[in-house]
Amino acid sequence: LDASNCVYPTEYEGHFDSLMISKEEIKEVVRSLAVQINEDYRGCRPVIVCVLKGANPFYQHLLDALQDCRQGYSMEFIRVSSYEGMGSTGNVKMGLLDKDLEGLKEKHVILVEDIVDTGTTLSHLIPILKEKVNPASLEVCSLLSKRIKVPQKCKAKYVGFSIPDHFIVGYGLDYNELYRDTQDIWVISQKGIDLDPSSFK
């Protein structure tokens, strides 16, 4: 992949080993995911739930593409995290507020995720949501799914890209809260890993 047209904040120079997915490729895949969702949900108005923070850029582009398909929806946001640094902790923290779940009750729900890695996050989240909001249906749309050696504990119905097992950043995906602010998806370099996030003000 040719990274010469990619832009990113100047302070990230040298922090990426290689380009994994370009913004053009993302755009195409997002469009095709929206077409699939529109085929499956035509005639109903799913609640599309952004799993913050990582999924946010994908979520915004997916909603745009759904509008192009004339697919109606409503929007909700939840916050969940299981990663610290580069390893899945298996320890899923859920900032689920009952008032945020109100809008999901008995609706057709689509959870929008940035990436499914081990599936631990979803395998915790989904049973809780099912119990609390009794959705008419519940599906997951994830931009990325990692090809890992063991079976994922939970799979997304709609997947943009299946990727090899590298730690990646960009387009919402962070490393210690850095690198969310790029348009493309990158494999992080050693220099990127070694960076002290507190060096920026």
Which range touches ligand 5GP (CB under 6 A), out of 8-16, 94-102, 109-117, 127-135?
109-117
- Backbone φ, ψ for residue 104 (5° rounding): -100, -10
By the rule CB under 6 A, 174 interacts with ligand 5GP: yes
- Backbone φ, ψ for residue 116 (5° rounding): -105, 120
Give dist(CA 135, CA 76) in Å, integer. 14
Q: Where are the alpha helices (DSSP H) in the chain?
A: 23-41, 56-68, 98-101, 120-133, 190-194
Contact (CB, 8 A) for 109 and 46: yes
Using CB under 5 A, which residues numbered 83 to 142 contact Mg ion?
A: 83, 113-114
Is 196 a known active-site residue?
Answer: no
Residue 22, token pair as written in the block: 């370009």
Using CB under 6 A, which residues numbered 118 to 157 contact ligand 5GP?
A: 118-121
Contact (CB, 8 A) for 111 and 141: yes
Q: Which residue is nearest to Mg ion (CB)?
A: 54
Choose, by CB under 6 A, the member of 116, 133, 156, 159 that binds ligand 5GP. 116
By the rule CB under 6 A, 117 interacts with ligand 5GP: yes
Choose, by CB under 6 A, the member of 21, 82, 158, 159 that binds ligand 5GP. 82
Q: Give the shortest CB-39-to-ligand 5GP separation in angstroms.
A: 26
For ligand 5GP, the closer CB: 69 or 154: 154
By the rule CB under 6 A, 173 interacts with ligand 5GP: yes
What is the DSSP secondary structure assignment for residue 44, as one 8-state letter? S
Using CB under 5 A, which residues numbered 39 to 58 contact Mg ion?
A: 54
By the rule CB under 6 A, 114 interacts with ligand 5GP: yes
In the chain, the amino acid numbered 192 is G
Count, in order, helices (H) and strands (E) of the chain.
5, 9
Q: Give the shortest CB-140-to-ligand 5GP separation in angstroms.
A: 11
